[in-house]
Amino acid sequence: MTRQAFPRRVETIHVPPIKCQGIKTKLVPFIATNIQWDGRGRWIEPFLGSGVVALNLGPTEARLSDTNRHVIELYRAIQTGRITHLTVRESLKEMGECLRKEGEKYFYDVREHFNESHDPLDLLFLNRSCFNGVMRFNGKGRYNVPFGKKTERFRQAHVTKIVNQVRWLQSVLKCNRWQLKCCDWRESLAEARAGDFVYLDPPYIGRHADYFNRWSDADAVALAQTCSRLPCGFALSMWQENRYRKNSHIDEFWSGTTVRTYQHFYHIGPTESLRNSMIEALVIREGFAAPESSEAAEDGGRRQGSVQTSLF
């Protein structure tokens, strides 16, 4: 069986069907060219989010988890074949037509139904029709993002785009030995063993980035301490600085690691005025950072426009 080893080039980035804050689509090539791992163990991600990193890197064996049960349940349903790209096509066409006829009332009816039944197809609809594609839940665990005001959202082209994303996700989940689990990061990291590699994308400390549950300074410190005791390699994504301030957490709690950086634009909000330059850091355990080279810098995406993003 061929194992995916790193560093390596990732030419085309596929976008998963679920959108959420802090998605690492643009950083996938950067991550792939900056870590060094033979791929013989498991890829462990305790903060899965949309899953864009693992899905595009395609490790043969993985343990993927998140506290957001709804995304995990959707991906499990796709993995087992209970939900397919054909199921999604039928569902979004029907729900899109209802949205076109009934407007925002229908959106809020679906949102209420989801908060009671937790239907994964409802989540997919809400995620693609809510305000700015935000994934957010209140303190009681209820999806609370308002309507995105586009009643014509699910035109044929848009439905086809989502269907293709689900079809790609379906193929990746079926081709690899991946375990999907809803659990706390501590439980996930407790299972790490020598030969594994851990990729961490926790909520960004010092930034408003909650989307399902709370993340405190104490949590961030506990994560750093836990990682220092891991029996395997790891890499952590974290913001380093922007034009307003620098993140001191990296220097204080991740000493003795290799830090590689990538500059891109961070955008969350409805207008271009909210787009700001951000320097992202990839904090890598000593001994697991790939050698730096001009080729790695290019492949890692420091040169804008060097990576293609697929609609599929």
Say how far residue 110 (Cα) sits from the centre of its chain: 24
In whole angstroms, how large is the CA radius of gyration of the chain? 19
Picking from 120, 125, 117, the residue whose alpha carbon sits closest to that of residue 98 is 125
The CATH fold assigned to 79-167 is Adenine-specific Methyltransferase; domain 2 (1.10.1020)
Picking from 266, 288, 263, the residue whose alpha carbon sits closest to that of residue 275 is 266
Q: Please state whether 309 falls in left (phi above 0), alpha (psi between -120 and 50) or beta.
A: beta
| Alpha carbon distance 312, 305 (integer Å) | 18
| Alpha carbon distance 273, 275 (integer Å) | 5
Helix, strand, or coil here: 153? Answer: coil
Q: What is the pLDDT of residue 205?
A: 76
Q: What is the pLDDT of residue 215?
A: 84
Say how far residue 115 (Cα) sits from the centre of its chain: 22
Q: What is the pLDDT of residue 266?
A: 57
Per DSSP, the residues of 197-220 read EEEE-PPPTTS---SSS---HHHH
Describe the chain by its helix, strand, coil percentages, rounded to 5: 40, 20, 40
Picking from 128, 2, 121, the residue whose alpha carbon sits closest to that of residue 59 is 2
Q: What is the pLDDT of residue 7?
A: 97
Helix, strand, or coil here: 230? Answer: coil
Q: What is the pLDDT of residue 243?
A: 77
| Alpha carbon distance 202, 217 (integer Å) | 12
Q: What is the pLDDT of residue 104?
A: 96
CATH of domain 12-67+183-310: 3.40.50.150
Residue type present at position 169: L
Q: What is the pLDDT of residue 209?
A: 46
Length of the chain: 312
Q: How many other CB atoms are there within 10 angstroms of residue 13's CB atom?
A: 19
Q: Which two tokens stand for residue 22?
A: 């802090």
Q: What is the pLDDT of residue 267?
A: 52
- Digits of tens for pLDDT over the chain (312 positions)? 578 899 999 999 999 999 987 779 989 999 999 999 999 999 999 999 999 999 999 999 999 999 999 999 999 999 999 999 999 999 999 999 999 999 999 999 999 999 999 999 999 999 999 998 889 999 899 999 999 999 999 999 999 999 999 999 999 999 889 999 999 999 999 999 999 999 999 998 765 444 556 688 999 999 999 999 999 999 999 999 887 888 899 999 999 999 999 987 655 544 444 456 789 999 999 999 999 864 444 444 443 333 344 444
Per DSSP, the residues of 85-120 read HHHHHHHHHHHHHHHHHHTHHHHHHHHHHHHHH--H
Residue ranges covered by each domain of the chain: 12-67+183-310, 79-167
**Residue pair 154/102 in contact by the 8 Å Cβ criterion:** no
